[in-house]
Structure 1
Amino acid sequence: MAKQYWLFKAEPHIYGIDHLAAAPDKIGRWDGIRNYQARNFLRDQVKLGDEVFIYHSSCKNVGIVGTAKIIKTAYPDPTQFDPESDYYDPKSNRENPRWVSVDIQLTKIFTRLIPLAELKSHPALENMVLIKQSRLSTQPVSAQEWSTIHSLLK
């Protein structure tokens, strides 16, 4: 199967690119996803080696800040079982967990943030899921969109 591309949204005060950069081997668990469509992407479509844009949201400077790659595919998100976690789900159980996590490894921190306004203004990105369905935390990115966004850094 061909490599796929994704955009993962993060709130940088909770877990952003700086947290990932500071982690051992720049590896982190992408967890806490509590949207069924985003969960289905993580569970059913995200594959080993896929590439990911890291997007900071719910902050002063919203936009794409870097890239990562998938190094471990979907497995039960441990936060759903932890009553102390903000992501605890009392309706989930270990025999049939509702939520999944993936592990990612940081590959690049961009020299500049690519703001949402810039992405919205680019004609080649007008059909991007980020533009059409902005609240989705895990979303596909086409190969053409991936390339276009990288060209904005030059």
Structure 2
Amino acid sequence: MNYWLVKSEPSEYSWEDLLKNGEEIWDGIRNFQARNYLREMKTGDLVLFYHSGKTKEIIGIAEVTEEAFPDQADSEQKGWVSIRIKPKISIKNPLTLEKIKNDGQLSNLLLLKQSRLSVMPVEKPQFDHIVKLTS
């Protein structure tokens, strides 16, 4: 199993939207590195759901339910892909970006090094630490 983080502006698509929908296609990614990460995701992988924008916090944990498939909006057929995710756990105590930055165990989190990337891997020890902090 692998662990990931996806980012979304809550005004565009929020954790609450995912909860309401029950499952969603994660599409529209137009960054080559993020696309490559989407291609690596496997069914059952866990995904931290991060609200970007004003709140900047990890708000939930989702699960990959369908591995990479062609993005329907890729009209130029450039190889963009989508995955499908479903909500797994709503986090009781969201973890803010400020707290992440101040936690030494998370100093190597890709979120802090490539802040504009919308899909990224998370190492298992980091994931476990985040779950512990948000419980």
Secondary structure of 1:114's partner?
Answer: strand
Find the counterpart in structure 1 of residue 51 from structure 2.
56
Give the superposition deviation at 1:153.
Answer: 1.8
The 5 A counterparts of 1:21-40 are 21-23=19-21, 26-40=22-36
Offset, 1:9: 0.5
Task: Give ranges in structure 1 of 5+ residues lacking alignment.
Answer: 82-91
1:2-43 per-residue CA deviation (whole Å, 9 max, x = no partner) reads x000000111111121111111xx100101101000001112
One-letter amino acid matched to 2:57: G
Q: What is the match of residue 89 of structure 1?
A: none
Counterpart of 2:63 in structure 1: which amino acid? K
State the AA in 2 paired with 1:140: P
Displacement after TM superposition at 1:112 (Å)? 2.7
- TM-score calculated relative to the size of structure 1: 0.84
Q: Residues 47-89 of structure 1: CA distance to partner in whole angstroms, max 9, x if unpaired?
A: 111000000112x2111000000000000111223xxxxxxxx
Residue type at the aligned position of 1:10: S
For the pair 1:17 / 2:12, whether they are aligned, the reply is: no
How well do the aligned residues superpose, as a CA RMSD in angstroms? 1.0
Normalising by structure 2, report the TM-score. 0.96
Structure 2: state its 5+ residue gaps. Answer: none
If you compute each CA radius of gyration, which structure gives the higher value, 1 or 2?
Answer: 1
